Amino acid sequence: MDGRDRGGRACVRVMSDYAWIAWVVLGLILIVAEIFTPGFVLLWFGIGAIAAGLAGVVGLGYPVQFLVFFVVSMALTAASRTIFANYFVREHEGGGLKMGMDSLPGKIGTVVTSSRGALSEGAVKVFGSTWTAYPAEGEPPLEAGDRVVVESIVGASIYVRRFDHSPDWRGRELTDGGGDDDSRRS
């Protein structure tokens, strides 16, 4: 009976000595599985499992290893939600990041279809997309080829105003005629 008793204790001791390997393997599996899932959840549990494995390496018991796993996983999950909410979600405030339709006001486009009908409906191309467009209040009907600036968006339509002056892309006005070449040679 003593032989079996010692063998059982030896088996338990060996199993507890190598339990950290199971934690690390579980952690690595969860971290790799995170690649195939849409969200940062498994990553934090994988890091929690690796932390529990480190607790096992230093000789802490199973209850402490499970506690380390739970606390680290939950803390990282909660922290990541806070970080993502603060840094990656932009509210519609004055200085916020504008994307899609929200970025159109102030952009310059070209009329591709002249105004027609009672509402003076036309089509304007802005950044490669063609929009149903109407002249802004007080503006004459749109003519194909006109340069316009987007004033506002209502539904899926834009209201535009003629754009008379386009700034030089170099940031300064070009002058007519020569003289510049002669001054550079001197």
Same domain, 60 and 108: no
Which residue, among 80, 8, 90, 10, has the nearest Cα to 42 in the 3D structure? 80
> Distance between CA 18 and CA 139 in Å, rounded?
79
- Residue 71 covered by a domain: yes
Q: Which of residues 177 and 122 earns the better pLDDT score?
A: 122
Q: What is the pTM of this model?
A: 0.44
Across 3-7, 73-77, 98-102, 175-179, which has the greatest mean pLDDT? 73-77
CATH number at residue 119: 2.40.50.140
Question: What was the pLDDT predicted at 69?
Answer: 95
- Residue 175 covered by a domain: no
Question: What was the pLDDT predicted at 63?
Answer: 92
Same domain, 7 and 80: yes
- Residue 184 covered by a domain: no
Same domain, 139 and 64: no
pLDDT band at 186 (very low <50, low <70, confident <90, very high): very low
pLDDT band at 185 (very low <50, low <70, confident <90, very high): very low
Domain span at residue 113?
103-162
| pLDDT tens-digit map of 39-60 | 778 899 999 999 999 999 988 8
> Distance between CA 84 and CA 82 in Å, rounded?
6
Which residue, among 127, 115, 117, has the nearest Cα to 159 in the 3D structure? 115
Question: What was the pLDDT predicted at 105?
Answer: 87
Q: Which of residues 170 and 30 earns the better pLDDT score?
A: 30
Please spell the DSSP secondary structure of 99-150, one letter per residue.
-GGGG-TT-EEEEEEEEETTTTEEEEEETTEEEEEEEPTTPPPP-TT-EEEE
pLDDT at 21 over 80: yes
pLDDT at 146 over 60: yes
Same domain, 75 and 6: yes
Question: What was the pLDDT predicted at 169?
Answer: 54
Same domain, 35 and 82: yes
Helix crossing, 62-87 with 42-57: angle to 10°?
150
Same domain, 77 and 43: yes
Measured over the CA atoms of residue 84, residue 89, residue 94 and residue 95, the dihedral's sign is: positive
- Residue 170 covered by a domain: no
Residue 129 carries which side chain, given as an amino acid letter? S
Same domain, 108 and 43: no
For 162, residues 6+ apart whose C-beta sits below 8 A from its C-beta are: 139, 140, 146, 147, 148, 149
| pLDDT tens-digit map of 108-141 | 888 998 888 777 888 899 888 888 898 888 888 8
- Split into its structural domains, the chain has a count of 2
pLDDT band at 90 (very low <50, low <70, confident <90, very high): low
Same domain, 49 and 77: yes
CA dihedral 45, 48, 52, 57 (to 10 degrees): 120
- Look-up of token digits 């007519």: 176
Which residue, among 60, 61, 34, has the nearest Cα to 45 in the 3D structure? 34
